[in-house]
Amino acid sequence: MPIVEITLIEGRTPEAKRRLIARVTDAIEESIAAPRDSVRIILREIPALHFGAGGKTKEKTEAPSG
């Protein structure tokens, strides 16, 4: 039973997550001939503040209004 864990910054639509799960499942089924019903996909969403790259978080900051 293939199990795939994908970590994403939160904020994607439910439709985008469904599409991702479907396409990753397709890729696993095609590449290793795994039965579709045996493929497990786990999406882990994290806040942008909890993800860093290049010394900065991925959170979006808004410019002060005024």
The answer to the question of residue 55 being in a domain is no
CATH code assigned at 16: 3.30.429.10
Q: What pTM does this model have? A: 0.81
Give the model's pLDDT for residue 60. Answer: 77
> Domain count of the chain?
1
Tokens 């978080």 appear where?
A: 57
The alpha carbons of the chain give a radius of gyration, in whole angstroms, of 16
Known catalytic residues?
Answer: 2
Domain enclosing residue 43, as ranges? 3-50
Residues of the chain falling short of pLDDT 50: 63-66
**Distance between CA atoms of residues 20 and 17, nearest Å:** 5
Give the model's pLDDT for residue 61. Answer: 62
The answer to the question of residue 56 being in a domain is no
Give the model's pLDDT for residue 3. Answer: 98
